[in-house]
Amino acid sequence: MNWHQDYIERYKKLKEQGKSFFPYAVLKDTIMAFFILGLLCWFAYHFGAALEDPADPTDSNYNPRPEWYFLFLFQALKLFPGNLESVAAVLLPGLGVTFLFLLPFLDRGPERHFLKRPFFTLLGVGTLAGIGYLTYQGTVSPLTNPIVEKDPLVFAGQRLYVSLNCSYCHKIGGKGGTVGPELDKVASGETEDWLEKHFREPQSVSPGSAMPKLNLLDDEIKVLVAFIKSLGGGEGFTEEAPKVFAENCAMCHKIGKEGAEVGPDLSLIGTARDKNYIRKYIEDPSKLNPTSNMPGYKGQLTDVQIEDLARYLSAQKGN
Amino acid sequence: MNLIWEWMKSRLALQEIWNALFSRHVPEAEGWAGWLYTLGSASLFVFFIQVITGSLLAMNYVPSPDHAYDSIRFINEQVIFGKWIRALHHWGATFMVVLVSLHMLRVYFMGSYKYPREATWIVGVILFLLVMGFSFTGYLLPWDQKSYWATMVGANIASQTPIIGSYVAKILKGGDEMGAVTLTRFYAIHTLVLPGLILVAILIHLFLVVWHGISEPPQKNKGSDKKEGA
Amino acid sequence: MEEKNLNNKISRRSFLTYVIVSLGGLMGAILTGLGCGYFLSPIWRKKEDSWIDLGLVKDFIEGEPIKIDFTVRKRDAWSTIESKSSAWIITANQKDFIAFDPKCTHLGCPYRWSVEKRQFLCPCHTATFSVDGKVVSGPPPRALDRYPTKVVGGHLLILPQVVGKGKEV
């Protein structure tokens, strides 16, 4: 092409007129790097790096969500239902990458200013706007499943319960062995002090117990006690509670086979939440879960009814 | 001391390297446009941060479903500055994606990918894909809910590929189910395969940038050479 | 006039170099500081002492060494490991206890107590130790290694870590 030679010559001239890379350009690079490092440290300090609960392949209540820079792709999938999903999932990104690779051969004229390349400028701006729009849509789209916050101590205790194979002898929620007592029925009623002594030296508080001494570390005992205590709950509720539920909640929620599926199924809510959390949630869901569509019931129901309902729900452990 | 310096200078060709890399002249980019030219070097800087923090994290990380999560907890809670190093690596990844994208947009809208710098752009696109690969594989490593399910979604998206989809997903996951093999695979790719590839690509990219010279900021009336000099 | 310009240029250049070097140095220092703290953190990590309860002191027979097996459960960074271990316990008065590491100080073979000879016998190179751990015969370089002991609330506790090779603790 005839302009190639001209460009090389013109660039040579520009280069000669230009300044030395060091220190002029390097200064800008260094200041930029300094700014970036500062910003990075600020982000690291301010937000840290989140670590959620350990991966649980059996958890069906989790809201999978990709990192924000993949969110547009995630969101795009929703625009292509059914068989067409592969278009958004593979074809579009594939085309995009191919386009990027071929770009220097598609746009090969001498013009470099964006105003002189209206097609590519518009294409670029259009793509950016599309990605921006989809990302925005992705961030505001509500999470279908409620965000379940767990007490870290209780959760750690639950993990330890599994890894120590306690269920070989003990039952929780009707599952487990029959050698030892059913923990949610018996053990959660004991005091923390009793439980701690029991973990350290089972025979010291219950002579003749078949429970082995486990040589547990102090913090392991702490989390196990928290876990066992959390199995309690289900303080007595009145006969009114199921009726209140049927009248106010069942049009969205399900317990067992009764109720609708607009909101989450609450049949097992007592295994994830304690009474106090549930009461707060019924009073004003938005405080605990900003993306919830559920209305608050403070004022709609009396405090006694809410308390009763919370007790009823915290007893829902699937048994 | 001086003798050692002189010896190094001559045997390692330090002066020549300095002249070629740092004393080279670059076209003037005035005002704010000059700052757009720092995006590439900023990406390189963040890459160095990722190499340093990543190597440190690897010292205390186990790529196994049994221990991955607890080893991250160990880094967070027991290692001095562990929280910091992990947070820097985490946000460094985000910064990397942002900076590389901005750099790419600068090149796109300034038309810098044109003759004679086509190859520089193509290597740049490869670098962009490698960064995305880093981000995708690194996301799984903490083995928490977020990473597990995001990778699950990613693998399911890959399985949408017509005809070869199920094979792609299997290769990615190292089997039918996500598990131990997935994690070791992602770890090896994240810490061995991709760093090797990206290092080669960065060297080629930088060599081409120096070889062809940094592109000048385009001027509206100087695009075509016809009117030049007028 | 021209010379002044040139001088200006040089001083500007060296000023910029100064800025670059100091900013670069500061960034290097931040990253190196963080990195070194992380890399060197084993130096400052506190060792967790896990004392093992071996039971009531009154259950130990005076003057008669006894081998006690116990399970040590401890944290090893991110994993919790359990290991079986043992110690030879000797007491003269049920107040002062000596706990010996159960490995011969020569090559680490497990020795045993001979009631007739009233000596510890190592099967590997026929070394013998007296009841207080001193080498009586054979190749071992030093007396038997000891574990720290203490008595708390009528229970004997030991810390199964060799401190001060062969020395009393």
Residue A271 CB neighbour total at 10 angstroms: 18
- Using the Cβ of A119 and the Cβ atoms of chain B, whether some distance falls under 8 Å is answered with no
Interface size, chain A vs chain C, as Cβ–Cβ contacts under 8 Å? 36
Residue B98 CA to residue B101 CA, distance in Å, equals: 5
Residue A296 DSSP code: P
Distance from CA of B170 to the nearest CA of A (A): 16
Best mutation target among B67, B146, B173, B178 (most A Cβ atoms within 10 Å) is B146
Q: Which positions 39-58 of C are in contact with B (Cβ < 8 Å)?
A: 39-41, 44-45
| Cβ contact C64:C49 at 8 Å | no
Residue A19 CA to residue B214 CA, distance in Å, equals: 12
Crossing angle of the two packed helices A218-230 and A152-163, in degrees rounded to 10: 100
Chains linked to A by 3 or more Cβ pairs within 8 Å = B, C
Looking only at the bridges linking them, the beta strands covering B25-26 and C52-56 are unpaired
- Predicted confidence at residue A145, as pLDDT, reads 61
- Return left, alpha or beta for A295; rule: phi > 0 is left, psi -120 to 50 is alpha, else beta: beta
Query: What ipTM did this prediction achieve?
Result: 0.92
At B101, the amino acid letter reads S
pLDDT in tens, chain C (169 residues): 566 677 777 788 899 999 999 999 999 999 999 999 999 999 988 777 778 888 888 888 888 899 998 888 888 888 888 888 899 999 888 888 999 999 999 898 899 999 888 899 998 888 999 988 899 998 999 999 999 999 988 889 898 888 767 666 6
- Across the beta sheet with C66-76, the strand order is C66-76, C79-91, C97-100, C146-147
- Predicted confidence at residue C92, as pLDDT, reads 85
Taking an 8 Å cut-off on Cβ atoms, the answer to whether C31 and B62 are in contact is: no
Taking an 8 Å cut-off on Cβ atoms, the answer to whether B27 and A14 are in contact is: yes
- Which chain B residues have a beta carbon less than 8 Å from that of C35? 52-53, 56, 85
Crossing angle of the two packed helices A192-200 and A218-230, in degrees rounded to 10: 130
- Which two tokens mark A30? 């260094």
Residue whose C-alpha is closest to residue B41's, from A34, C23, A112? A34
The residue in chain B having the minimum alpha-carbon distance to the alpha carbon of residue A8 is B116
The residue in chain A having the minimum alpha-carbon distance to the alpha carbon of residue C19 is A27
Per DSSP, the three-state class of A20 is: strand
Number of Cα atoms under 13 Å in the Cβ half of residue B153: 20
Taking an 8 Å cut-off on Cβ atoms, the answer to whether C73 and A215 are in contact is: yes
Taking an 8 Å cut-off on Cβ atoms, the answer to whether B71 and C77 are in contact is: yes
Residue B120 CA to residue A142 CA, distance in Å, equals: 42
Distance from CA of A159 to the nearest CA of C (A): 13
- Predicted confidence at residue A214, as pLDDT, reads 81
Max CA separation in chain B (angstroms):
72
pLDDT in tens, chain B (230 residues): 899 999 999 999 999 999 999 989 999 887 888 899 999 999 999 999 999 999 999 999 999 998 999 999 999 988 999 999 999 999 999 999 999 999 999 999 999 999 999 999 999 999 999 999 999 999 999 999 889 998 988 888 888 888 888 898 999 999 888 999 999 999 999 999 999 999 999 999 999 999 999 999 988 775 444 444 33
Taking an 8 Å cut-off on Cβ atoms, the answer to whether A48 and B105 are in contact is: no
| Cβ contact A36:B99 at 8 Å | yes
- Using the Cβ of A67 and the Cβ atoms of chain B, whether some distance falls under 8 Å is answered with yes
- Predicted confidence at residue C144, as pLDDT, reads 92
| Cβ contact A318:A268 at 8 Å | yes
Best mutation target among A61, A112, A117 (most B Cβ atoms within 10 Å) is A112
Instruction: Give CA angle at B104 (B102, B109), nearest 5°.
Output: 95
Backbone angles phi, psi at C120, to 5 degrees: -85, 130
Residue A186 CB neighbour total at 10 angstroms: 14
Backbone angles phi, psi at C96, to 5 degrees: -100, 125
- Which chain B residues have a beta carbon less than 8 Å from that of A38? none
**Model's pTM, two decimal places?**
0.80
In this predicted model, what pLDDT tens digit does every residue of A276-292 receive, in sequence order?
Answer: 788 888 888 887 777 77
